[in-house]
Structure 1
């Protein structure tokens, strides 16, 4: 009897719990539906409706952005203007980018120029929203989501013992563009525009390369060379804090506040590496390290022969333009006859460095900084560095600008004198090495 009554009471208790749970869920669902209806109603109110409801208590911080309408309007106008914009941009790109290609031209390539350049008929698109980042006096800064799945007709003429035209196809660009407008009182009310690509998320440039009348294998490593060149140009010229400053209008304007300026100095000591990957069939690798923040300002250690645990203990001074967003890159190579092989690469974020405090850091070496391209998961060893950041005073900033100008002039002179092939080859500058 006790068993039966117990079972009955248990079943009754269970049914009661289930009924109560069902009632609570239904009541919660009704409340959510009521709130959703209220929110939808509030969302349909415009500014005038809220003023009528709230009267003098209307909160000033409430705004009604029209970003979506602005984006649609900009895309329509861009589509209409694209034939004219593309024609003008083609001339500007050819005149401005070819000298840049010359600056970044790798050794072994005697000429790298456009033999054909057309941006096609498909206009770029602004996606998402336009985000206003700051509105300080005289300037407006905004970030724009940018996508271009274009149909350009671009052919690079490459000379490296043989002539090989390379066609760039299936171009896809996904990035966020930072635009800064410098305002003025004269029409069109904008005296200069700054354009840069944000580093996070990393800009994506997807494309395929096709040899015309030949094979990409005619020049070993050609695909990697072009990809490295494109990445270097974007990083050094366009990726924030680096930027392009374009004055507008016929009246000369002062754009010095918009130009990139050195903010501080990173004193980076490359101490040693451990357990490097051996790339030699006989013996061991002959490693050296290269450090840089900007690809055109690379600094190289000495070579330690036949050693997978090299000790360099060399100090380099690297200029920093924006400590909050930049990072130092350290690459380790195996010196070899012909092309040196990369043993590993690592990056050091600068944002966490405390001024004037030296910090020893161990970095894991990776085959690439692009995690999507890493297929080889094998251990490549690590590298130990010491890093100390120094914030420039105004006098030190001016001196750093003069030093940077002098260094670029020296590299240009070396190139004209035939000492180096391009400024990318000048990475053994003793003026930036201490110890």
Structure 2
């Protein structure tokens, strides 16, 4: 049965949390925010809440702190405990900059994946996960294969090497005071209070990224409480220094988000010369349905019985000239960890390498980054021509891609919804004259 899936946010990249983070670790957790070509939307966090009718602002950080303490007391926390925890906290400007900044240039997904997927990362992941004494039990308990867990582990912290060193109390207090995502940040801060109060961890142990994600598998405090697991059997959930706890917690998160044991995450496919690229990202169908359209597995393999009935979405991360994938439900389970197609591809392709599967048949193309001004100009041009790209914010999300796909179709182009540098330059140049065709061809 046909099902439209235009709500999927597929083409995302990633961003660094700090200049000290090595280039191999580019995608770090963040609060909920709009997608861009460089920013993943951490789905370990809830969707961005609707703004209050009368947003509350605070003149000083001390005013926010007093208000938060009152909220905590109303929830049953001891006033002295909360006041003591926040007594030495001051807002951290680096956290605000990281939260509000949008990169001037959007990194192409091909560049991100080529950097993130490497022989060294694959070899290290294979060695580390296979050497773990608890990995077989973790696989059996949660149904998530070790190579996927290693893929997540490598992307999140380079196998524990880069976990972030920011005090999470300070991080969430800063984000709450800044106000853009106050409800979310305060919710996470309440979870931090619960972690410390219950003795699950100490304030000194709670270090993480600028957005407060913690440990080897970068869990937010709320999910640490809900989904953290004791993988090594010592009675304590320590995602900072225990590899097994970090891996079991990641497995539990993926299982809770619908991981399907026995199914692939995605499979590279090849497309016929006359393929209708408009189907990409808009149809969720079984592999057999796609086969009737001429879509075949690039590895020449067969779908197993479980996969044959699974919904699959065709994704073209670099457009018609790059690799094509049929993304199965497990791809989107990975995206629940970090809602970024680039991230999910990196996790999956590293996992494939760790498992000894063949590399991609179709190479990634060389792509040029798009400036923020260029992206905004494209959205302006599309909107003015009658294609609804939404808010002009430079975020190339599902709305912009849908509008671009419709424009491509109306103008006799390959309707893959992909914004190449050449097409962005063409549309951006029209911003002053708007000579591109509208939906009616005028």
Name which one, 1 or 2, has greater alpha-carbon Rg.
Answer: 1
Question: What is the TM-score of this pair, normalised by structure 2?
Answer: 0.23
Question: What is the TM-score of this pair, normalised by structure 1?
Answer: 0.23
Structure with the bigger RCO (C-alpha within 8 Å, sep 6+) is 2
Q: Which has the higher helix share?
A: 2
Q: Which has the higher strand share?
A: 1
